Structures are given as structure tokens and as C-alpha cells.
Amino acid sequence: MPCTTVLVGKNASNDHSTMIARTDDGFFDVKKLVVVRPKQQKQRYQSVISHLEIELPANPMRYTACPSVDSKEGVWAATGINAAQVGMTATETITSNPRVLSADPLVRYKKAKSRGEKDVPGGVGEEDFVVLVLPYIHSAREGVLRLASLLEQYGTYESNGIAFNDENEVWWMETIGGHHWMAKRVPDDMCVIAPNQFGMDSFDLDDAFGKQTAHLCSADLREFIAENKLDCNQGGKFNPRDVFGSHIDSDHVYNTPRAWFMGRYLTPFSHRWEGENAEFTPESDNIPWALVPDRKVAVEDVKYMLSSHYQGTPYDPYTAQDTGKRGMYRSIGINRTGVTSVCQIRPDAPKPIRGLEWICFGSTTFDALLPVYPNVQKMPDYLSDVSLEASTENFYWASRLIGALADAHFGQCVQLIERYQAAVFVRGRQIVREYDKKIAETGDLTLQTEANEALCRMAREETNAALTKVLHEASVCMKNGYRRADN
């Protein structure tokens, strides 16, 4: 599933929190935010796409998830934070090359061709990962190891990148072919930018096969590389992107420009992104996987990057200037995004409320990012009670309506959108500050439920107000407008 990911180490953020964020760019999937309690977690999991049955451990934790409202293709839980304050987002669809995929083929479901044959199940994939992993892990590293064991046992039918975070660490994991994998701890002072490509551009194999301080991988990865002559590197260096990734022409329209915009935003001074002497252009294949930002990164910065339509550049599809380059690159804030989340784990908050989950439905360019406390028994109806029919009674559909109306009248609506997004940030942070303090003083964790209701009341108020204003502007700009004075 085409998505965009941003990861933030604890020393790269303004408040020493870790963050993992991703736009879930499906096919206009209708999404909701729910809490899955231990009794709701089935002990025997049945995947829809791969027809695979997996026995699950008997001790799941409560966790949040953003499943698809229409479950005909499976759960697609997407992202969440569990009761141990561990976050997970799955997945960033990545690419691989024919050399890798021929040596370790993807494990796809095979339907029986005749009555005497049996169906052959496929491996695990994006449909399954969050449900199979998040309820059972107590750290980001544990997340990597649990998913690795599933990949090695069952394989996967697609190439994916998966992120985990806890209060101290952020880990990024990439699958290699059907059964192999590698994972790297994001350096504390760095941010990772990942746009649908095999991302890691450095990896310490000695550490992975030694102390495993910041690198983990399949036990036979060295042999796998050597036996299949996968190493295309020169000069003794090891760049996984060149070994396991792919380089195709469409990357320069679809993928690398997204990395370029995010890198340009994070390091406007320490790297040159434009002009004749640019180190990196929108079509560079060597844009770094991780960067030390020129200033500390806040949630608002993550949202800005994931809302990108190349604003401030000639590639902005909404620019009024005739640049000759409008819309030539795939935006990050795309129309078909179902949900965007930022899983933030805050070390300075009491342990049970360290997790804060920020949620945005629909196109990030137009919609607001709302924080909620995940360690609760149930999410407010405004986030969880979503149907397949449009309604202003929930955050998903109200957000979709704002985006669809504002897109066609960007110039008239952009200020309304900016004010709306800022208002939700400001008031959301105020409510979180208020309830962080109350919970710390009283130790009453049930106040999280009260806080979430207050946050959703605020979001409904601001969203309905923005929708009303945007609808008015869109109505004024209708093509069938006419007055007698127009004669």
C-alpha cells in the first residue's frame, strides 16, 4: 500500500519523545480508531488475503487499531499503541529487485486448480501484522523479534517496512524477499524519511551478528547475500538499498521527490536541496534514509511533512503560477489517504499515559491531527462509530468532506484550512496539558476517557465550523453562479 513514513528519535524531538508516523494511502479506505480489549483478540487468527490460520498467544494486551470499516479484505489494523506503551505502524510498502525475489520468492496464496488438490496458504502481510504483533510486545525491539519469527515461519507475500517505538527506542524493519529481514535502531538524534522504497542505506552486519546493539537481521543473511551474488556495492561498503532495493524510472516521479521534500524541510541549512550545486534533487537516488534535523522536531513538523503538496516549490499542483512543473510529482498529502497517525511515546509523562496517539483521517493536506490517549477501554464514538455512508457525525467523513470541497477551491479555502488545523493543534494541546496534570496529581487513569471525550467534542466543534465555512466558499465558486447584474 503506497504510504509515507517519518520516524523521530528521542533526541531529535523537541520533548525527547519518540515518534513513528505514517500516511496509510489505500484506495479511499474508510477507517476508524478503536480499542481492542484482550477478550476481543481471537486466539486463532484467520487472514483473508492469504487464507492463513495462525494460533496466537493466550495473553494479549489491550491495544488501539485503525481497521478498515469494510472488513471484506481483512482487518488492516494499520497502527496503534498497546497497554505497555509500545507503538507500531504497518506498513510502508517498499520495493525489491528480481535477484532477491528469485532467490527468496514471496509467499503468495495458491488456490487449488483441481478437486484433488488443496489450497496453499500465503504468508503474512499488511492485513495481518498489527493484530499478530502489537498485543504481545513490551518494547520496540520485541516487536522486531516477534514479527521476524512470523516472517521466518510463514513468509510474506509483499515487501514492507514496519516501525516500532517505545519511550527510548525507534526501530525500523524491512522485509527482504519472502522470509528474510533486517532491522535497525533509528539513531536518537536522527529522523528517518521513507517513501515506498527500500530505505536503509547503511547497516552494520558485524553488530547484527555480534552484540546486536542497533542492528538485527536474519540469521543466514550473510550467506543469502553471498550465495545469490546480491552484493552490488563497491569499495567494501555495505548499502542495503543497493543490495536489496530496486531502482526504476517511476521512482523519480513517485518516490524520491517525497524524500526530497522531507529532507529539504528537515535540513534546509546543512544540505543544499536546490540550485545548480544541489546535493540532492527530487530525482536523486541517494537521498539519505536518516538525517540529523537542523532543529528539533515537533508533532506539528511531522504533520507538515506528511501534508506536503510541494508547497513553496514549482511542483505544487495548487500554485497559481504557470511553472510548467505543476503536479509533476506525487504529493505526500494525497487524496486517497485513509488515516494518518503519529504514535508518540513521551518519557516525561507518567508511565500509563506516556503514549499519545495523533489521528488524522482523509487527505492530510486539508485535515486536522487530533491527539487522544490510547490507554483506555473504548474510543469516543466520533472516532470509532464510522459507517460506509457519509456522515458529519464522525471525524472520518467530516474530514473527507472538507478535503473534497477545499481541493477544488484551494485559493479560496487555504486560509480556512490553515486556521482549522492550527485551532485543533492549539486546543488539543491545551486539553492534553490539562489532563496530563490532573492524571499526574490524582493517579486516576479513568480521566483519560474523560479527556478523549473532551478532545472529540472540541474536534467536532472545530471540524463542523470549518466544514461550514469551506462549504460556503465552494458554493460561492460554483460554475452555475449568475446574477442579473452579470448581463
Please choose, from the candidates 171, 167, 89, the residue with its C-alpha nearest in 3D space to the C-alpha of residue 134.
Answer: 89
End-to-end CA distance of the chain, in Å? 52
Give whole-number Cα distances, 207 to 86, 156, 161, in Å.
24, 26, 21
Which residue is catalytic, options 3, 66, 343, 456?
3
Assess whether 3 carries a catalytic annotation.
yes
CA distance 172 to 367: 27
CA distance 260 to 281: 7
Q: Is 476 helix (H, G, I), strand (E, B) or coil?
A: helix
Strand ranges for 32-155 from DSSP E: 34-36, 44-46, 53-55, 63-65, 79-81, 87-93
Contact in structure between 214 and 208 (CB atoms under 8 Å): no
Please choose, from the candidates 475, 456, 476, 474, the residue with its C-alpha nearest in 3D space to the C-alpha of residue 464.
Answer: 456
Q: Is 428 helix (H, G, I), strand (E, B) or coil?
A: helix
For residue 91, say if its preceding peptide bond is cis, omega within 30 degrees of 0: yes
Residue 449 CB contacts under 8 Å (≥ 6 apart), including other chains = 373, 376, 377, 378
CA distance 438 to 432: 10
CA distance 460 to 478: 26
CA distance 354 to 347: 6
Residue 125 CB contacts under 8 Å (≥ 6 apart), including other chains = 47, 49, 50, 91, 156, 157, 158, 160
Please choose, from the candidates 376, 383, 337, the residue with its C-alpha nearest in 3D space to the C-alpha of residue 359.
Answer: 383
Specify the residue for cell string 495481518. 128
Catalytic residue list:
3
